[in-house]
Amino acid sequence: MKKSILLFVYLFTGFSLFSQQLIWSKPYGGSQFDMFENLQKINGVYYHTGTSNSVDGHTGQNNGAMDAWIMVLNATGDSVLSLTFGGSDNDYAKDIIEARNGLTLITGYTASGDGDFSGVSSYGTVDGFAYLIDSSGNAVYKEKFGGSTDDRLSGVIKTFYKGFLFLGMSSSSDGLLQENLGTIDAWAFAIDISPLFVGTNLISETEFEIYPNPSSGLVNLKLKQPDGKPFLVEIFTADGKKVKKFHSQQTASRIDMKDMKSGLYFIRITTNQSKGVKRFLVF
């Protein structure tokens, strides 16, 4: 039996529920389970977040189990863009906001370590994620957050200091969570990922490595730089403060983080042609 979404939009006149006038009503999805959970108006169109395991209709493909689903509609309900992302396990898109520079930030949670999350380090069985896309739906940045068990994100807002506040739940007491108050906790953290909006010309995962991760203080950087030209290395704290900056021509180097506090850091590599960003933990 076909399961699909039915989106209703009403226009109310006055204060009476009996004076409503239906503007339009349309179903969206495919032949399996499809659901919208949130929406935001961005640049004159409406971005919907949800989940789907359909391989037809508006979704078109499925990476395995439930996929995170983004659908963009205009004011009359016509589809402007529809995309699914995820891996072979369950992936859920829960919230979406306008970031900057024409980019859109999606948050949710995933149990996948393959597919669209290939090369993104996992913390535990289920991780919260940040997924940044451009106006065409291309991923320009993706990251996971959490600890070693089950951690989920369900909301995100901009903060006053150019960062983002993420909300969700956690059952971990390690990784980004250093304490658990009992079974499942409400979870919130603020992070500045504005230095990471690097566009679509990214260094691939195979050309940019950082290890060990987590690290006790010494971090190894490996970058394939065939032309031998200098590249820029920058390290940021989770709130966007730049703590290290240097140029290098070495394809392999070691970064001393022993003078830094324990926590989450981001490393950004800028070459003459592209950029790449990864996160790592210092404990």
**Could you tell me if residue 21 is inside a domain?**
no
pLDDT the model gives residue 6:
47
**Could you tell me if residue 101 is inside a domain?**
yes
Whether 154 and 218 share a structural domain: no
**Could you tell me if residue 150 is inside a domain?**
yes
Whether 136 and 215 share a structural domain: no
Whether 183 and 256 share a structural domain: no
Q: Which of residues 134, 164, 196 is at a domain's end?
A: 196
Name the pTM for this structure: 0.70
Q: Which of residues 169, 196, 223 is at a domain's end?
A: 196
CATH of the domain at 272: 2.60.40.3080
Q: At CA 106, angle to CA 233 and CA 239, rounded to 5? A: 40
CATH of the domain at 54: 2.40.128
Query: SS3 string of the chain?
Result: CCCCEEEEEEECCCCCHHHCEEEEEEEECCCCCEEEEEEEEECCEEEEEEEECCCCCCCCCCCCCCEEEEEEECCCCCEEEEEEECCCCCEEEEEEEECCCCCEEEEEEECCCCHHHCCCCCCCCEEEEEEEECCCCCEEEEEEECCCCEEEEEEEEECCCCCEEEEEEECCCCCCCCCCCCCCEEEEEEECCHHHCCCCCECCHHHEEEECCCECCEEEEEECCCCCCCEEEEEEECCCCEEEEEEECCCEEEEECCCCCCEEEEEEEECCCCEEEEEEEEC
Q: Which of residues 160, 178, 196 is at a domain's end?
A: 196
**Could you tell me if residue 59 is inside a domain?**
yes
Domain that holds residue 91: 28-196
Whether 93 and 178 share a structural domain: yes
Whether 210 and 232 share a structural domain: yes
Whether 84 and 162 share a structural domain: yes
**Could you tell me if residue 8 is inside a domain?**
no
Whether 35 and 130 share a structural domain: yes
**Long-range contacts of residues 169-174, Cβ cutoff 8 Å, at least 24 apart:** 170/146, 171/147, 172/123, 172/124, 172/146, 172/147, 172/148, 173/147, 174/147, 174/148
Tens digits of pLDDT across the chain (283 residues)? 444 454 444 444 444 545 578 899 999 999 999 999 999 999 899 999 999 999 999 987 899 999 999 999 999 999 999 999 999 999 999 999 998 777 899 999 999 999 999 888 889 999 999 998 888 888 888 889 999 999 999 999 988 656 789 999 999 999 888 889 989 999 999 887 655 554 445 555 557 788 888 888 899 998 775 566 788 899 988 777 889 999 888 888 899 999 998 888 888 888 877 777 777 888 7
Whether 106 and 173 share a structural domain: yes
**Could you tell me if residue 177 is inside a domain?**
yes
**Could you tell me if residue 131 is inside a domain?**
yes
Whether 45 and 180 share a structural domain: yes
Whether 190 and 215 share a structural domain: no
pLDDT the model gives residue 225:
59
Whether 169 and 60 share a structural domain: yes
**Could you tell me if residue 13 is inside a domain?**
no
Whether 189 and 212 share a structural domain: no
pLDDT the model gives residue 195:
55
How many domains does one find in the chain? 2
Place of tokens 């957050």: 145
